[in-house]
């Protein structure tokens, strides 16, 4: 019995030792295989870092306003007799837009003009008699005062009539009528909006750090969120005070709007173009990878031996300004260096690569246009 138990234990030990030995041998062979295996090259796209003429700019969000734009209001109370414009029509300066009933004032004006004629005749007669020594000075002064009073009454009534004939203050596009014929209106009632859409003011705010860069006269480019609208203009004014709450300063630009596609109140993206700089190293933004250690690029390096594979080196860089799809490289990359623009997620320092520029990363602009 004891002999059988002893043989079973020995047999069990041999089986267990064989299994452990096999596992150790297998792990060793796998480790040797991977240690000697060369990973396949990674396909990447590359581009050349170039020294370009850099056009820096200040980007902001703006709101469009008409160069001339007002809400037209009624000056005198009364009944609307006639609305003499159509919505969205072009009007010229001095064109009659709204007529308020003025029949009472017209009658009063006719009476005042008749009184003025009589007062002028009496004044002329008094002057004639005064020159002959017949009339007294007191009578002449009375007639002069009466003539002046009559003339003032006529002018007052003419001014009242003008307040009931509402004219366009400038050329522009009239909006939707807010009143109807027969409606009683009071002073201050808005009856339409008038906007000159040929030239637009664009107000926007920039950080206080950009005050030294932005000057009156610098060109601006505006784009809209819809319709792919682009227009150019220039800075015409800078607010001389910084908002202490937001630390922003307000800037105003004027842009031409001959097509009428920009509307007052519209949301716009604004870029103030600063003077160009020569010799700035620029690469696509897709070439730069950022992490906790900073920004870096993968630079393409030639094969160490003839017939070998090209490799990449991770280079930490100092980045600067951005312009469109490009970013400025202040330090770390020289003009002529080949940098990886796609495929970085599969790379490590010293990895072998093959260059395939047939597929390029999709730009943000192309994505937006789609």
pLDDT of residue 32: 66
Identify the sign of the CA torsion 215, 260, 180, 93: positive
Q: Which residues pair with 190 in a beta bridge?
A: 73
Nearest alpha-carbon partner for 272 in 215, 329, 208, 199:
215
Q: Please write the tens of the pLDDT for every residue from 125-148.
A: 777 766 666 656 666 677 778 778
Q: Which residues pair with 192 in a beta bridge?
A: 72
Radius of gyration, alpha carbons of the chain: 43
Judge contact between 105 and 158, C-beta under 8 A.
Answer: no
State how far the Cα of 258 lies from the Cα of 232, in Å rounded to an integer: 12
Query: pTM higher than 0.85 for the full model?
Result: no
State how far the Cα of 348 lies from the Cα of 314, in Å rounded to an integer: 7
pLDDT of residue 227: 61
Q: Please write the tens of the pLDDT for every residue from 264-304.
A: 889 999 999 888 888 888 898 888 988 888 899 999 888 77
pLDDT of residue 336: 87
- Point out the residues of the chain with pLDDT beneath 70: 1-3, 6, 9, 32-39, 129-140, 227, 306-307, 359-370
State how far the Cα of 97 lies from the Cα of 175, in Å rounded to an integer: 11
pLDDT of residue 6: 66
pLDDT of residue 219: 94
Long-range pairs for 116-121 at CB < 8 Å and ≥24 separation? 116/147, 116/150, 116/151, 116/153, 116/154, 118/150, 119/143, 119/146, 119/147, 119/149, 119/150, 119/151, 120/147, 120/150
């Amino acid at each position: 019995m004891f002999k059988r138990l002893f043989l079973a234990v020995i047999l069990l030990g041999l089986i267990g030792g064989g299994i452990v030995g096999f596992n150790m041998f297998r792990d060793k062979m796998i480790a040797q295989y991977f240690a000697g295996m060369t990973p396949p090259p990674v396909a990447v796209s590359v581009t050349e870092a170039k020294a370009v003429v850099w056009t820096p700019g200040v980007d902001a969000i703006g709101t469009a306003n008409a160069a001339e734009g007002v809400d037209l209001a009624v000056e005198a109370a009364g009944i609307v007799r006639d609305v003499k414009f159509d919505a969205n029509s072009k009007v010229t300066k001095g064109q009659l837009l709204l007529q308020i009933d003025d029949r009472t004032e017209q009658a009063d004006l006719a009476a005042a003009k008749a009184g003025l004629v009589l007062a002028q005749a009496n004044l002329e007669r008094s002057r004639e008699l005064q020159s002959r020594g017949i009339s007294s000075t007191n009578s002449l002064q009375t007639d002069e005062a009466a003539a002046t009073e009559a003339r003032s009454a006529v002018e007052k009534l003419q001014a009242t009539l003008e307040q009931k004939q509402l004219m366009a203050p400038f050329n522009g596009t009239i909006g939707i009528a807010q009143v109807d014929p027969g409606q009683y209106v009071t002073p201050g009632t808005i009856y339409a909006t008038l906007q000159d859409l040929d030239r637009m003011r664009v107000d926007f705010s920039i950080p206080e750090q950009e005050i030294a860069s932005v000057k009156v006269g610098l060109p601006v480019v505006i784009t809209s969120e819809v319709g792919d609208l682009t227009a150019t203009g220039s800075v015409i004014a800078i607010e001389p005070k910084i908002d202490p709450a937001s630390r922003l300063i307000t800037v105003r630009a004027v842009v031409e709007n001959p097509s009428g596609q920009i509307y007052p109140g519209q949301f716009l993206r604004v870029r103030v173009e600063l003077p160009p700089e020569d010799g700035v190293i620029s690469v696509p933004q897709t070439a730069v990878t950022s992490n906790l250690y900073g920004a870096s690029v993968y630079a393409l390096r030639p094969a160490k031996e003839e017939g070998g594979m090209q490799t990449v080196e991770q280079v930490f860089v100092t980045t600067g300004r951005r312009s469109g799809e490009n970013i400025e490289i202040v330090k770390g990359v020289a003009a002529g260096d080949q940098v990886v623009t796609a495929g970085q997620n599969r790379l490590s320092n010293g990895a072998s690569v093959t260059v395939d520029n047939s597929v390029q990363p999709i730009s943000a602009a192309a994505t937006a246009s789609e």
